[in-house]
């Protein structure tokens, strides 16, 4: 099957409409007339694009100009940064703020567990008072309207007690399952000083005002011309940056590295 083609090519077709042609491997130009060499390129680059939303096509061109897609590797169900922004996955809360919220929920569950038995006791006492009034309705001289209201109060109290009993059972399951302890240990492992999240930005501002430094991220941008140029740039800056990414649409390589920022 491979012998009927004069040359081969590898096309990367992104699901956003962008296309890219692969002609090199490890900065070395590949003989596109060799099925074996081009297949090697195809097999090696598949892992490079596994986190992208694209199709990788291995194509053959015959002598009469026919162009066939011999086989395709499809990567789907990934979301690019534009889609993430549309879906607003990031939200408005930072990770620290979400951890703080998680801690508040955990503390509320603990407090609720301690409060529920006392609430049950108060509810039982209130129900006993209502029942005592009902038993002594003649002595108290209650009217039909007052009796009807009293019966409604007793009925509501019983419904509330059943709901409370179910909640106590659920609270016991949550606490006995050690979910809260696990969350507590998770939060402690982050090293975040809880109940002080709202002071983070204020502390940063104060540090800068006092002539201090804050570790931040600097983003370097590099324009590339083609696939080969992009690979060269990414390899060149990889050792000096924390993370390297690229945007195929803008033909830009982005390098992220930590820096000290002064006021």
Tens digit of pLDDT at every position of the chain (263 positions): 446 788 888 888 888 888 888 766 666 677 888 888 888 888 888 878 877 888 889 988 887 777 888 888 888 755 555 555 555 555 566 777 777 778 777 777 877 887 788 888 888 998 999 999 999 988 889 899 999 999 999 999 999 999 999 999 988 888 777 777 777 787 778 776 654 433 333 443 444 445 444 445 577 889 988 777 888 898 899 888 877 877 766 788 888 776 655 54
Asked if 253 contacts 225 with a C-beta cutoff of 8 angstroms, the reply is no
What is the full DSSP assignment across 160-219? HHHHHHHHHHHHHHHHHTTHHHHHHHHHHHHT--TT-GGGHHHHHHHHHHTT-EEEEEEE
Which of 92, 260, 104, 88 lies closest to 192 in space, CA to CA?
104
| pLDDT reported for residue 193 | 61
Cα 84 to Cα 92: distance, rounded to the nearest angstrom: 13
Tokens coding 228 = 């080969």
Whether this prediction's pTM lies above 0.85 is answered by: no
Region class of 213: left (phi > 0), else alpha (psi between -120 and 50), else beta: beta
Which of 207, 191, 187, 189 lies closest to 199 in space, CA to CA?
207
| pLDDT reported for residue 194 | 56
Domain boundary assignment for the chain = 2-83, 95-190, 197-262
| pLDDT reported for residue 91 | 57
Cα 160 to Cα 263: distance, rounded to the nearest angstrom: 58
Contacts of 207 (CB under 8 A, 6+ apart): 213, 214
Tokens coding 70 = 């011999």
Place of tokens 């390899």: 235
Dihedrals phi, psi of 18, to nearest 5 degrees: -80, 150
Place of tokens 């011309």: 225
Q: Alpha helix (H) ranges present in the chain?
A: 35-45, 81-87, 95-135, 137-140, 144-176, 179-190, 200-209, 227-237
Cα 211 to Cα 63: distance, rounded to the nearest angstrom: 70
| pLDDT reported for residue 148 | 92
| pLDDT reported for residue 200 | 36
Q: Which strands make up the sheet holding 252-262, listed edge to edge? A: 213-223, 252-262, 243-247
3-state secondary structure of 95: helix
């Amino acid at each position: 099957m491979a012998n009927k083609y004069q040359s081969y090519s590898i096309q990367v077709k992104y699901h956003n409409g962008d296309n890219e042609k692969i002609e090199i491997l490890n900065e070395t130009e590949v003989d596109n007339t060799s099925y074996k060499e081009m297949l090697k390129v195809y097999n090696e680059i598949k892992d490079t694009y596994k986190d992208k939303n694209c199709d990788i096509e291995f194509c053959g061109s015959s002598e009469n100009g026919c162009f066939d897609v011999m086989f395709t590797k499809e990567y789907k169900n990934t979301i690019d940064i534009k889609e993430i922004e549309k879906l607003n996955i990031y939200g408005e809360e930072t990770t620290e703020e979400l951890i703080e919220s998680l801690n508040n929920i955990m503390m509320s569950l603990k407090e609720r567990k301690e409060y529920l038995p006392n609430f049950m006791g108060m509810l039982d006492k209130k129900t006993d008072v209502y029942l005592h009034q009902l038993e002594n309705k003649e002595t108290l001289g209650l009217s039909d309207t007052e009796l009807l209201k009293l019966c409604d109060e007793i009925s509501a109290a019983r419904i509330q007690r059943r709901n409370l009993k179910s909640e106590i059972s659920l609270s016991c399951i949550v606490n006995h399952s050690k979910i809260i302890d696990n969350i507590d240990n998770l939060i402690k492992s982050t090293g975040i000083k809880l109940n002080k999240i709202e002071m983070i930005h204020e502390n940063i501002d104060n540090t800068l005002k006092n002539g201090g430094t804050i570790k931040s991220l600097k983003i370097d941008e590099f324009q590339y011309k083609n696939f080969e140029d992009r690979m060269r740039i990414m390899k060149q800056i990889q050792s000096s940056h924390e993370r390297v990414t690229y945007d195929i649409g803008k033909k830009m390589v982005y390098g992220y590295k930590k820096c000290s920022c002064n006021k």
